[in-house]
Amino acid sequence: MHLFFLSDGLGFNTNVLETNVLNLAVVIAIVVIYGGDAFGALLDARRERILKSVQTAEEKYAAAQAALQQAQARLTEAKDRAATIRSEGGATVAQVTTFVATQAADELARLEELKTTTFALAEQKATKQLQAKLVTLALTKAGTKVSTRLASQTTQKAFVDLQIQTFRTQG
Protein backbone atom coordinates (compact mmCIF):
# COMPACT_ATOMS: atom_id res chain seq x y z
CA MET A 1 0.00 0.00 0.00
CA HIS A 2 1.25 3.33 -1.04
CA LEU A 3 0.55 6.82 -0.25
CA PHE A 4 -0.79 9.08 -2.89
CA PHE A 5 -1.60 12.73 -3.00
CA LEU A 6 -5.15 13.84 -3.24
CA SER A 7 -6.32 17.27 -3.68
CA ASP A 8 -7.80 16.99 -0.21
CA GLY A 9 -4.66 15.66 1.28
CA LEU A 10 -2.77 12.53 1.71
CA GLY A 11 -4.40 9.09 1.25
CA PHE A 12 -3.76 5.40 0.54
CA ASN A 13 -4.17 3.71 -2.81
CA THR A 14 -5.65 0.29 -2.32
CA ASN A 15 -5.43 -0.77 -5.97
CA VAL A 16 -2.75 -3.47 -6.04
CA LEU A 17 -1.99 -3.28 -9.77
CA GLU A 18 -1.44 0.46 -9.75
CA THR A 19 0.70 0.33 -6.68
CA ASN A 20 2.89 -2.52 -8.05
CA VAL A 21 3.52 -0.61 -11.28
CA LEU A 22 4.34 2.53 -9.32
CA ASN A 23 6.55 0.58 -6.95
CA LEU A 24 8.38 -1.04 -9.86
CA ALA A 25 8.82 2.31 -11.57
CA VAL A 26 10.23 3.85 -8.42
CA VAL A 27 12.55 0.85 -7.79
CA ILE A 28 13.77 0.84 -11.39
CA ALA A 29 14.36 4.58 -11.27
CA ILE A 30 16.33 4.25 -8.01
CA VAL A 31 18.27 1.29 -9.39
CA VAL A 32 19.04 3.13 -12.62
CA ILE A 33 20.00 6.37 -10.87
CA TYR A 34 21.95 4.99 -7.94
CA GLY A 35 22.68 1.43 -8.96
CA GLY A 36 23.31 1.99 -12.65
CA ASP A 37 26.97 2.66 -12.10
CA ALA A 38 27.32 -0.28 -9.71
CA PHE A 39 25.38 -2.54 -12.04
CA GLY A 40 27.45 -1.29 -14.98
CA ALA A 41 30.60 -1.96 -12.97
CA LEU A 42 29.34 -5.47 -12.20
CA LEU A 43 28.56 -6.02 -15.85
CA ASP A 44 31.96 -4.62 -16.86
CA ALA A 45 33.69 -6.89 -14.32
CA ARG A 46 31.69 -9.85 -15.59
CA ARG A 47 32.54 -8.93 -19.17
CA GLU A 48 36.25 -8.63 -18.22
CA ARG A 49 36.19 -12.04 -16.53
CA ILE A 50 34.52 -13.55 -19.58
CA LEU A 51 37.06 -11.88 -21.90
CA LYS A 52 39.93 -13.10 -19.70
CA SER A 53 38.46 -16.62 -19.71
CA VAL A 54 38.11 -16.51 -23.50
CA GLN A 55 41.62 -15.11 -23.85
CA THR A 56 43.00 -17.78 -21.48
CA ALA A 57 41.11 -20.46 -23.41
CA GLU A 58 42.54 -19.10 -26.70
CA GLU A 59 46.05 -19.07 -25.21
CA LYS A 60 45.61 -22.64 -23.98
CA TYR A 61 44.27 -23.61 -27.40
CA ALA A 62 47.28 -21.98 -29.09
CA ALA A 63 49.62 -23.74 -26.64
CA ALA A 64 47.85 -27.04 -27.27
CA GLN A 65 48.13 -26.47 -31.04
CA ALA A 66 51.86 -25.73 -30.66
CA ALA A 67 52.31 -28.84 -28.49
CA LEU A 68 50.37 -30.88 -31.06
CA GLN A 69 52.58 -29.58 -33.87
CA GLN A 70 55.70 -30.37 -31.85
CA ALA A 71 54.39 -33.84 -31.07
CA GLN A 72 53.57 -34.40 -34.75
CA ALA A 73 57.05 -33.18 -35.70
CA ARG A 74 58.62 -35.56 -33.13
CA LEU A 75 56.41 -38.38 -34.44
CA THR A 76 57.50 -37.68 -38.00
CA GLU A 77 61.12 -37.54 -36.87
CA ALA A 78 60.70 -40.81 -34.95
CA LYS A 79 59.13 -42.46 -38.00
CA ASP A 80 62.01 -41.24 -40.18
CA ARG A 81 64.53 -42.48 -37.65
CA ALA A 82 62.76 -45.84 -37.43
CA ALA A 83 62.83 -46.12 -41.23
CA THR A 84 66.53 -45.23 -41.22
CA ILE A 85 67.22 -47.79 -38.51
CA ARG A 86 65.26 -50.42 -40.43
CA SER A 87 67.18 -49.72 -43.63
CA GLU A 88 70.51 -49.58 -41.79
CA GLY A 89 69.54 -52.75 -39.95
CA GLY A 90 68.85 -54.47 -43.25
CA ALA A 91 72.17 -53.28 -44.62
CA THR A 92 73.93 -54.36 -41.43
CA VAL A 93 72.27 -57.78 -41.58
CA ALA A 94 73.39 -58.12 -45.20
CA GLN A 95 76.95 -57.11 -44.28
CA VAL A 96 77.04 -59.46 -41.30
CA THR A 97 75.59 -62.28 -43.40
CA THR A 98 78.21 -61.69 -46.11
CA PHE A 99 80.97 -61.48 -43.51
CA VAL A 100 79.86 -64.69 -41.78
CA ALA A 101 79.51 -66.50 -45.11
CA THR A 102 83.00 -65.34 -46.13
CA GLN A 103 84.44 -66.37 -42.77
CA ALA A 104 82.72 -69.77 -43.03
CA ALA A 105 84.04 -70.27 -46.56
CA ASP A 106 87.56 -69.27 -45.46
CA GLU A 107 87.37 -71.59 -42.45
CA LEU A 108 86.09 -74.42 -44.64
CA ALA A 109 88.93 -73.87 -47.11
CA ARG A 110 91.44 -73.79 -44.24
CA LEU A 111 90.02 -77.02 -42.78
CA GLU A 112 90.08 -78.67 -46.23
CA GLU A 113 93.72 -77.65 -46.66
CA LEU A 114 94.49 -78.92 -43.15
CA LYS A 115 92.77 -82.22 -43.99
CA THR A 116 94.76 -82.55 -47.20
CA THR A 117 98.00 -81.74 -45.40
CA THR A 118 97.16 -84.18 -42.61
CA PHE A 119 96.40 -86.95 -45.11
CA ALA A 120 99.65 -86.20 -46.99
CA LEU A 121 101.67 -86.30 -43.76
CA ALA A 122 99.95 -89.54 -42.70
CA GLU A 123 100.69 -91.03 -46.12
CA GLN A 124 104.35 -89.94 -45.90
CA LYS A 125 104.63 -91.41 -42.41
CA ALA A 126 103.04 -94.70 -43.51
CA THR A 127 105.32 -94.78 -46.57
CA LYS A 128 108.42 -94.19 -44.44
CA GLN A 129 107.35 -96.87 -41.96
CA LEU A 130 106.72 -99.30 -44.82
CA GLN A 131 110.09 -98.44 -46.37
CA ALA A 132 111.78 -98.94 -43.00
CA LYS A 133 110.09 -102.34 -42.57
CA LEU A 134 110.99 -103.32 -46.12
CA VAL A 135 114.60 -102.29 -45.58
CA THR A 136 114.70 -104.19 -42.27
CA LEU A 137 113.07 -107.22 -43.89
CA ALA A 138 115.40 -107.04 -46.90
CA LEU A 139 118.44 -106.72 -44.64
CA THR A 140 117.24 -109.61 -42.51
CA LYS A 141 116.61 -111.77 -45.57
CA ALA A 142 119.92 -110.76 -47.10
CA GLY A 143 121.67 -111.53 -43.82
CA THR A 144 119.99 -114.91 -43.69
CA LYS A 145 121.01 -115.66 -47.29
CA VAL A 146 124.55 -114.54 -46.65
CA SER A 147 124.68 -116.61 -43.50
CA THR A 148 123.23 -119.57 -45.35
CA ARG A 149 125.67 -119.16 -48.19
CA LEU A 150 128.54 -118.66 -45.83
CA ALA A 151 127.48 -121.70 -43.87
CA SER A 152 127.17 -123.64 -47.03
CA GLN A 153 130.56 -122.42 -48.31
CA THR A 154 132.15 -123.21 -44.98
CA THR A 155 130.58 -126.62 -45.06
CA GLN A 156 131.72 -127.13 -48.63
CA LYS A 157 135.20 -125.98 -47.76
CA ALA A 158 135.26 -128.28 -44.76
CA PHE A 159 134.02 -131.16 -46.94
CA VAL A 160 136.60 -130.40 -49.59
CA ASP A 161 139.32 -130.17 -46.94
CA LEU A 162 138.15 -133.44 -45.47
CA GLN A 163 138.23 -135.10 -48.87
CA ILE A 164 141.68 -133.73 -49.58
CA GLN A 165 142.96 -135.14 -46.33
CA THR A 166 141.29 -138.39 -47.00
CA PHE A 167 143.00 -138.61 -50.37
CA ARG A 168 146.30 -137.72 -48.86
CA THR A 169 146.07 -140.35 -46.28
CA GLN A 170 145.16 -142.97 -48.80
CA GLY A 171 147.51 -142.05 -51.25
Element spanning 8, H or E? none
Residue type, 80: D
Domain edges within the chain: 2-125
Residue type, 127: T
- Under the banding of pLDDT at 50, 70 and 90, the label for residue 8 is low
pTM above 0.75, yes or no: no
Model confidence over 74-105: pLDDT tens digits? 999 999 998 888 888 778 888 888 989 999 99
Half-sphere exposure of 43 (CA within 13 A, CB side): 6
Model confidence over 16-42: pLDDT tens digits? 666 677 778 888 888 777 777 777 788
Report whether 2 contacts 12 (CB < 8 A): yes
Neighbours of 4 (CB within 10 A): 13
Alpha-carbon gap, residue 26 to 45, rounded angstroms: 26
Report whether 41 contacts 53 (CB < 8 A): no
